[in-house]
Amino acid sequence: MNKLKIAIQKSGRLNEDSIGILKSCGIYIDNGIDQLKASATNFPIDVLYLRNSDIPQYLEDGVVDIAIVGENLLIEKDKNVEIVEHLGFSKCRLSLAVPKEVEYTGPQFLQGKKIATSYPNTLTQYLKKNNVEAEIHVISGSVEIAPNIGLADVICDLVSSGSTLFKNGLKEVEEILSSDACLVKSVLLSPEKQELLDILLFRLRSVMRAKSSKYVLMNVPNDKIQEVSDLLPVLKSPTVMPLAIEGWSSLHSVIDEKKFWEVIDKLKEAGAEGILIIPIEKMVL
């Protein structure tokens, strides 16, 4: 029986989010403590827990079929792999940072400077694009300490909340790229395994669609149903159900949550009352 081999980061936030989204897709991984390979109990997939930086090479070589990795890593490693879906979690950005007392004046500030980073290839491309020559120091971890020990004038590192920079007396001055987690596949994937991937993608997209949507219910006077319906940012026409109170109906629909908040005041002005917003676990179209 064919099985997909998926690589995920063996520890850290990306690991937790990756396992979480698989679980949301109804895929449960039977793994023990410190186990580097595990199987799903109800889907033909094996999970390999690998060092993050090694995953793109495993994909290119076809050792694993698919993986969940940050787009920033794919850009840095520049391997022959294919992004299948942006997953929207583990968002971060690769940015330049300098000591907070330093006045940053733009990319030309970097000319002749020493820059510490774990992303030398991405940084090199950025410097080349801006016609800047700088001295790159490659560090595998704790990049933010480099200016404090005199190793570098500037750092180029991943930033999420910015709290680590702040704690080390640094400030973010330039964003080089933004990134989120991606589902990536090997270009060597067989047709049989592509069929399994298509099933997984169907589940993933249903979960992701549900996260950005909400089920909404509201009570509306019958003579205001059309006006309220026209205001709703819905997928299709809403469901209308009569209430026990004469002249009123309950209006049900699925909405984009972000767009809903743009029209909430207009809905109330149009006569909608008792508005309920309910999370959706899965949404299959």
The per-residue pLDDT for range 140-173, each reduced to its tens digit, is 888 999 999 999 999 999 998 888 899 999 999 9
Provide mean pLDDT across the span 168-192.
96
Average pLDDT, the chain: 92
Q: Is 217 exposed, middle or buried (0-12, 13-18, 19+ CB in 10 A)?
A: middle
Where are the chain's structural domains? 4-90+180-210, 92-179, 213-279
Of these ranges, 113-127, 150-164, 198-212, 259-273, the one predicted with the greatest mean pLDDT is 113-127
- pLDDT of amino acid 234: 65
Cα 69 to Cα 7: distance, rounded to the nearest angstrom = 8
Q: What is the pLDDT of residue 57?
A: 96
- Which of 3 and 12 is assigned the larger pLDDT? 3
Instruction: Name the 3-class secondary structure at 225.
Output: helix
Alpha-carbon gap, residue 121 to 245, rounded angstroms: 67
Which is nearest to 66 in space by CA: 75, 50, 53, 55? Answer: 55
Lowest mean pLDDT among 136-150, 195-209, 254-268: 254-268
Fold of the 4-90+180-210 domain? D-Maltodextrin-Binding Protein; domain 2 (3.40.190)
Q: Which residue has the higher pLDDT, 39 or 285?
A: 39
pTM for this structure?
Answer: 0.83
The two domains 92-179 and 213-279 share their CATH topology (first three levels equal): no
Does position 35 have pLDDT exceeding 90, yes or no? no
Comparing 125-139, 213-227, 250-264, the range with the smallest average pLDDT is 250-264
Among 44-53, 190-199, 248-257, whose mean pLDDT is lowest? 248-257
* pLDDT at residue number 214: 86
Q: Report the CATH fold assignment for 92-179.
A: D-Maltodextrin-Binding Protein; domain 2 (3.40.190)
206 φ, ψ (degrees, to nearest 5): -65, -40
Burial class (CB in 10 A: 0-12, 13-18, 19+), 171: middle
Please compute the mean of the pLDDT values over residues 232-261 and round it to a whole number.
85
For residue 84, what pLDDT is reported?
A: 97
The answer on pLDDT for 33 being more than 90 is no
What is the pLDDT, as a whole number, of residue 32?
A: 61
pLDDT at position 258, please? Answer: 79
Is residue 94 pLDDT above 70, yes or no? yes
Residue with more model confidence, 236 or 114 = 114
Contact 139, 146 (CB under 8 A): yes
Give me the CATH topology for the region 213-279: Alpha-Beta Plaits (3.30.70)
46 vs 24: CA distance, rounded Å: 17
State percent of the chain over pLDDT 70.
97
